Amino acid sequence: MKRITLALAVLVPLAFVAVARADTTVPFPSNQVKGVFVAAQTVTKAGAISDQFAPGDTVVFRAFAVNTKTHKLLTKKFGRITRHNAKLAKKSLRSFFVRIPLVGDRQFIVRAAPKGLDPRYRWAISWKVPALYPLGVVQFQVFARMWNKQRGTFAQLPIAASQLTITATPQEPYGPGPTEQGSVTSSNLDVVLYGDAVAGHSRPVACTQTNVFKVGEQVIVRDFGYQLSDGAVLSMDNVTDAHFSVPGQPDTVLNWGSHGPSGPPAQKVWYWTGAWTIPADYPLGDIDIHVTFKTVAGKTGTLDYPITIIPSS
């Protein structure tokens, strides 16, 4: 599909909505980031973001890592230090891998910027799910370790329907996902962000990750991040504005709130979410969900999450 270009409508000013905080506020994944910021996603071979796969399917893990001291993406990895690479290796990765239960560690390989996806996700590795792999949620983790001993970890947001799941009856993506090169994410990494999108309750299994939506469906955007000046998580304490934009529509506020399993508040974690229902007459094709955070310190962080919009039937 061709990326559609729309003249942006005049955006209606939106009040920044504060969600009441509780004493049990537990930001995801933690209150502070140190060393390396890591993000990851699971994708089909065709490029559609998905978290449901059947035995025998191929899961493509994609990831990126940011050095929180230099505020730069990490794009080099050296298995050992030599006199030729010693200087560069000090600011590079020593290892970058995904740990899959019952399978072991798989090292990422840096690739060209992926088409149709956030271009930061240049590190990738494929895993063919064994025929006898246990069904259910796969609690994978991604680890980044630098030669200067800085390190970081990524774990999935704790919503079961949004986590990598092996099932005999996967909810297949509606299509292959965006086909054009993903937009350039903010080069200002004073604020680092993770973002994804999940489907609303119009699907048999709600809250599953995807980048292909039907007209009329609800798109739920989820984000978390940090300001790197002090490593503090983005929260109501240091954010003045958080919203996402799509072509031709008013901005949608992102709200800071608790999510997770039912039960005691201590089991829940806090991150940012916002919802947009795709209008019945919205143009089909590829667009970017443009996420923006502005901090009390005057820093801005953005990311673009490409999605494909297809007919309702």
Nearest to 223 by CA among 185, 272, 153: 272
Q: Residue 27 falls within a domain, yes or no?
A: no
- pLDDT bucket at 17, cuts 50 / 70 / 90: very low
Q: Is 85 left (phi over 0), alpha (psi -120 to 50) or beta?
A: alpha
Least confident range of 62-66, 80-84, 218-222, 256-260: 80-84
Could you give the percent of the chain with pLDDT greater than 90? 75
More confident residue, 180 or 243: 243
pLDDT recorded at residue 8: 34
Among 129, 104, 102, 117, residue whose Cα is nearest residue 62:
117
Phi/psi for 87 (5° steps) reads -65, -45
Confidence of residue 292 (pLDDT cuts 50, 70, 90): very high
Say if CB 222 and CB 272 are below 8 A apart.
yes
Q: What's the number of domains the chain is made of?
A: 1
10 domain residue, yes or no: no
Instruction: State the Cα–Cα distance between residues 144 and 38, nearest whole angstrom.
Output: 7
CB 259 within 8 A of CB 269: yes
Q: Is residue 13 part of a domain?
A: no
DSSP string, 171-232: ---SSS---SBPPPPPS-TTEEEEEEEEE-TTSSSTT-B-SEEETTPEEEEEEEEEETTTTE
In percent, the amount of the chain with pLDDT more than 70 equals: 88
pLDDT tens-digit map of 239-282? 999 999 999 999 999 999 998 776 655 578 999 999 999 999 99
61 close to 127: Cβ distance less than 8 angstroms: yes
β-bridge mates for residue 144, sequence order: 96, 152
pLDDT tens readout for residues 69-106? 999 999 999 988 888 888 888 889 999 999 999 999 99
17, part of any domain: no
Within a domain: residue 20? no
Residue (of 300, 234, 241, 292) closest to 31 by Cα position: 234
106, part of any domain: yes
- For position 190, which CATH number holds? 2.60.40.10
Question: CA 51, CA 128: separation in Å to the nearest integer?
Answer: 14
CA 227 – CA 296 distance, rounded (Å): 10
Q: Looking at residue 265, what is its pLDDT? A: 56
How big is the chain, counted in residues?
313
Q: How many helices (H) and strands (E) does the chain have?
A: 1, 22
**What pLDDT is recorded for position 80?**
84
Domain that holds residue 279: 36-310
**In-domain check, residue 238:** yes
Report yes or no on 251 lying in a domain: yes
Mean of the per-residue pLDDT values for the chain?
A: 89
Residue 88: the pLDDT is: 84
